[in-house]
Structure 1
Amino acid sequence: MTAAKSVLSIGELEAGFPSYCLALRTLVTQGKDQRIIERTRCWDYLQRLHTSLPREYRSPADLLARYQRSLQA
């Protein structure tokens, strides 16, 4: 795969948003450390969405905190 193929457009990132959230929730459920989670592709994609469209997408740190709280409840 070439470098140009690995770069996703904002539209492609938006289309994959539910999958990235599911992946993040799965990592939290598995008890992964935040430093490990921050190195994943789903974190990167969620961060790119938040940076590009902050009013529409929460930061991955906020999502992580929400998922951790819901797991504790």
Structure 2
Amino acid sequence: MSAPTFTAALSIGELEASYPLYCKALRILIRDGLTRAKASRTVAWSRLESLHHALPRQYRHPEQLFVLLSRELTAAS
């Protein structure tokens, strides 16, 4: 059996179904202290970016999410 890869393009429906998971992953990355530059190289970031490009009125850019989630975690501390 071959190892899974992340090169296959997902449909918009698949991306939308996993949106909460990508946000949770981004929240964990922020909590762990990753910088925006390092977070931007993750699978979750690229999937969030794909969603934003496909449906910009419904989904924020990952940079905006990063800032919002960073503020949220800072305020909760």
Does the alignment reach a TM-score above 0.5? yes
Q: Which runs of 5+ in 1 are unaligned?
A: none
Whose helix fraction is larger, Structure 1's or Structure 2's? 1
For structure 2, list consecutive stretches of 5 or more residues without a partner in the other structure.
Answer: none
Shift of 1:47: 0.4
TM norm structure 1: 0.90
Q: 1:15 is matched with which residue?
A: 17
1:1-73 → structure 2 map (5 Å cutoff): 6-73=8-75
**1:17 is matched by which residue type in structure 2?**
Y
- Which string of whole-angstrom CA distances, capped at 9 and with x for unpartnered residues, describes residues 20-65 of structure 1? 0000000000001111100000000000000110011111111100
Deviation at 1:2, TM superposition (A): 8.5
For the residues of structure 1 that align with 2:4 and 2:21, how far apart are their CA atoms? 23
